[in-house]
A and B are shown apart, each in its own frame.
Chain A
Amino acid sequence: MRAVDQAKNAEAFLEDNVREERLDKLLWGMRLRRDDAARQVPEWEELRNLASEIKEHTLSNLSHYLIEFEAKATANGVHVHWARDAHEHNQIVHDLLAEQNISALVKAKSMLTEECELRPFLETRNIKVYETDLGERIQQLDDQPPGHIVVPSIHKTQKDVANLFAKNYGSDPNNEDPAYLAGVMRENTRQHILEAHAGMTGGNFLVAETGAVVVATNEGNAELSAHTPQLHIVSVGIEKLVPTTESLAVFVRLLTRSATGEAITQYTSTFRAARKGSVMHIILVDNGRSYRLGLERFWHSLKCIRCSACINTCPVYRRSGGLSYGSTYMGPIGIIMMPTFNVRKFSELPFASTLNGSCTNVCPVKIDIHEQIYGWREVMEEKGQIQVVKKQAMKVADKVLSSPTLYQIATASVSTALDVLPHFAIYNRLNAWGKHRDVPEAASETFHEWYKNHRLKANEVLGL
């Protein structure tokens, strides 16, 4: 199996400056709104610590909490299923539908069902799937996976969507007004929701003490998909547990603020039991999670609450788009999750990072993302999965970074070198990162030089 070449995949996206600039601006806007939201909560850092500790406690006692959740959900009249892998998960969903001769499913957004490739599984077995989240439906109509875990079609322009809807729904291709386009989708989807005999949602959190599934949406589509038909199927990863409703509050306060900068989503729903006359099934899915739990260096990635803050802040993601990762999860969190699914296929992903640490700084559950990215690079080297070009560059970097003298010489020489080196020397194929990226103008003096010239003098003046 060939490794996904993220840098190469990003080339097409980078050719179009408009799209690149647009995505960068939109996502950086999300990051800034997240910062504002965080600033308005004085206990923000305390919440992050709590969230991290609650998740670490839950994951280190996961078998206990899974059993507690199962017992509570079962007592609530909910049917609990277990799936070792994607195929088992898909088969359970299919069987639940086939048992009742159901041939259409309305579905809310769930990254887990993307991970399991549920849609193609059902569609090849003659079950129609209607995504009810606007962005997810856009991606479904365009036969593309989500480009972002929270806003799946963010890489598309309004014109793209207008054209797509014109082709599929017969709407006006020249009307790019998002309100008009959302209305087109609403009218089309509503009929499917009203006629469906089964609905499906994911789950943001599972509460062990009550057996409840918590789902956060802005559109209300998860609620419509869950309540309107008489069969509600929930697909959820085993790592989504929290012990109590009291601890759930910590995560609800962090989730949306970290994602879009709002205090909460329009709808934060708690499904504990089915209504009279309807049935609720929950499928607890492992699909590699128990394996990841045993990786001493990487199990913390299971704390992730899928807020996308790390994605929005990542300079590589913002300039290359989610589809370039060739994976279900993208950006920094994708980089540290995907190799656990397939180390060969995703061997290049850990290099789609500048290791600037911004992802770690914004993570609401304090996953050491950039350190894990570096850790995965080491794993790839150990496993012989690194391309020659990157290997050479890493060796040089390693040598320079481990010697203060060499580092100072190297950084001092950057501005001089950039002045004299011809373009091809900077953007040659041995510089994997130079491709499609303009090298910023180097500062006229390094930090060390500046410190020597300014701060030392200032200290002298102050008599320090």
Chain B
Amino acid sequence: MSYDNQARNAVLAAVQANQPSSLPMPKIPRSSPTPSADLVENFGKGLTRMAGSIISETIPDLDKFIRGRFPDAKVICSTVPECTGTIRPEDLTQWSGAANIDVSVVRTPLGVAETGSVLLSDLELRVNTIAFLSHDIVVLLDPRHIVPNIHDAYEHPHFATRPYCVLMTGPSGSADIGGITVHPAQGVKTLTVILKAEQQTN
């Protein structure tokens, strides 16, 4: 578009002319470490506060567990070796096709104790919409991958390398009507995080 360059130069020139004299960038201190024993507990507290669920007990058969927890689910989209499900993200011909998924099952590379968030990127999701258009989502988290806080979380290489990342904390919600929080709004109805060590690191 021809006006783009003209606009670009005009905006940059105006900013250059008007910006105040350069002020220094502060050093961002590293936060004090939290004892590792608290990490799982704090993660669980943060997640449940945001209406997510955490499962700490051992789940030997993930397919069976999911069928039990979501008895009406017909389409289960799994991206993890621990769960067979009924489809894989690659089976979707269009990203909007994720709307037909009842339950998505993925593994997160990172949990955040401070907030109860899990990190998901296009690497884990493969088709990003499976995290938002499906009715429910189940996320596997290796408890050893929980970091204390958001500063630690943003050190994850995904933020510099992946096209898309999300810190997901609880199912979709809204307090736009009467200030009362309800779930879901537009996204998933439930988020279940299962603490489960990664198979290859067992």
Main SS class of interface, A: helix
Checking B129, B150, B185 against A227 with a beta-carbon cut-off of 8 angstroms, the contacting residue is B129
Q: Decide if B167 is an interface residue (CB 8 Å cutoff).
A: yes
- In the assembled complex, which residues on chain B have CB atoms less than 8 Å from the CB atom of A234? none
CA distance A56 to B26 in the complex (A): 10
Determine if B95 and A267 form an interchain contact, defined as CB atoms under 8 angstroms apart.
Answer: no
Interface residue ranges of B129-176 to A (CB < 8 Å): 129, 131-133, 149-151, 153-155, 159-160, 162-176
If the complex has contacts A95-B1, A252-B150, A291-B18, are A132 and B186 also in contact, measured as CB distance less than 8 A?
A: yes
Stretch at the interface among A272-280, A316-324, A404-412, A451-459: A272-280
| Least CB separation from B117: chain A residue | A264
Checking A182, A209, A224 against B182 with a beta-carbon cut-off of 8 angstroms, the contacting residue is A182
Name the distance in Å between B30's Cβ and chain A's nearest Cβ.
10
- In the assembled complex, which residues on chain B have CB atoms less than 8 Å from the CB atom of A132? 186
- In the assembled complex, which residues on chain A have CB atoms less than 8 Å from the CB atom of B14? 286, 290-291
Total contacts A-B at CB 8 Å: 257
- In the assembled complex, which residues on chain B have CB atoms less than 8 Å from the CB atom of A262? 49-50
Determine if A228 and B95 form an interchain contact, defined as CB atoms under 8 angstroms apart.
Answer: yes
Q: Decide if B21 is an interface residue (CB 8 Å cutoff).
A: yes
Residue from B49, B117, B187 whose CB has the most chain A CB atoms within 10 Å = B187
CA distance A188 to B18 in the complex (A): 46
Determine if A294 and B18 form an interchain contact, defined as CB atoms under 8 angstroms apart.
Answer: yes
Q: Decide if B17 is an interface residue (CB 8 Å cutoff).
A: yes
| Least CB separation from B173: chain A residue | A218
- Chain A contact-residue range equals 35 or more
Name the distance in Å between A212's Cβ and chain B's nearest Cβ.
7
- In the assembled complex, which residues on chain A have CB atoms less than 8 Å from the CB atom of B155? 246
Q: Decide if B179 is an interface residue (CB 8 Å cutoff).
A: yes
- In the assembled complex, which residues on chain B have CB atoms less than 8 Å from the CB atom of A38? none
- In the assembled complex, which residues on chain B have CB atoms less than 8 Å from the CB atom of A88? 3, 7
If the complex has contacts A84-B10, A266-B169, are A138 and B187 also in contact, measured as CB distance less than 8 A?
A: no
Determine if B166 and A260 form an interchain contact, defined as CB atoms under 8 angstroms apart.
Answer: no
CA distance A248 to B99 in the complex (A): 32
Q: Decide if B69 is an interface residue (CB 8 Å cutoff).
A: no
Determine if A59 and B19 form an interchain contact, defined as CB atoms under 8 angstroms apart.
Answer: yes
Known contacts A135-B176, A220-B187; 14 further A-B pairs (Cβ under 8 A): A26-B179, A84-B10, A161-B178, A182-B177, A193-B96, A220-B186, A224-B133, A224-B187, A248-B154, A250-B151, A266-B168, A266-B171, A268-B117, A290-B17
* Nearest 3 CB-CB pairings of A with B: A220-B187, A294-B18, A135-B176
Q: Which residues of B contact A (CB under 8 A)?
A: 1, 3-4, 7-8, 10-12, 14-26, 28-29, 31, 46, 49-50, 95-96, 99, 114-117, 122, 128-129, 131-133, 149-151, 153-155, 159-160, 162-180, 182-188
Q: Which residues of A contact B (CB under 8 A)?
A: 26, 29, 43, 46, 49-50, 53-54, 56-57, 59-63, 66-67, 70, 76, 81-84, 88, 92, 95, 132-135, 138, 151-154, 156-158, 161, 176, 178-179, 181-182, 185-186, 189-190, 193-194, 209-210, 212, 218-221, 223-224, 227-228, 238, 243, 245-250, 252-253, 260, 262-275, 284, 286, 290-291, 293-294, 296, 299
